[in-house]
Amino acid sequence: MERAHEALNRLMEAIAYHAPPDLVWQAEAWARVVREALRQGEEALRSLEAAQARERHYRAVEERMRHALALIELEARRGRGEG
């Protein structure tokens, strides 16, 4: 996303240099919209990464619980003389 910000800044510099003032003003308004969209995209990406990290954690916990349950069941069968 940093590349997008940099590209937008360079584009705005070029527009400011070559375009008439009224078009520069309009381009600045559009650039604000694009910057806000980039900010929201970055925020969404951070949220997604956090959710993925939580999911990985929960899967690891689930796997440990599954393993613990299997050990408990094995010990229970041994206690009943089945295994």
15-62, pLDDT tens digit by residue? 999 999 999 999 999 999 999 999 999 999 999 999 999 999 999 999
Say how far apart CA 62 and CA 19 lie, in whole Å.
Answer: 60
Say how far apart CA 16 and CA 18 lie, in whole Å.
Answer: 6
Specify the pLDDT at position 82. Answer: 76
Helices (H), 1-83: 2-18, 21-79
Which residue type occupies 55?
A: E
pTM over the 0.85 mark: no
pLDDT, average across residues 1-14:
93
Please tell me the number of Cα atoms within 13 Å of 76 on its side-chain side.
Answer: 6
**Could you tell me if 16 and 24 are in contact, meaning their C-beta atoms sit under 8 angstroms apart?**
yes
Specify the pLDDT at position 81. Answer: 85
Specify the pLDDT at position 29. Answer: 97
Size (the chain), residues: 83
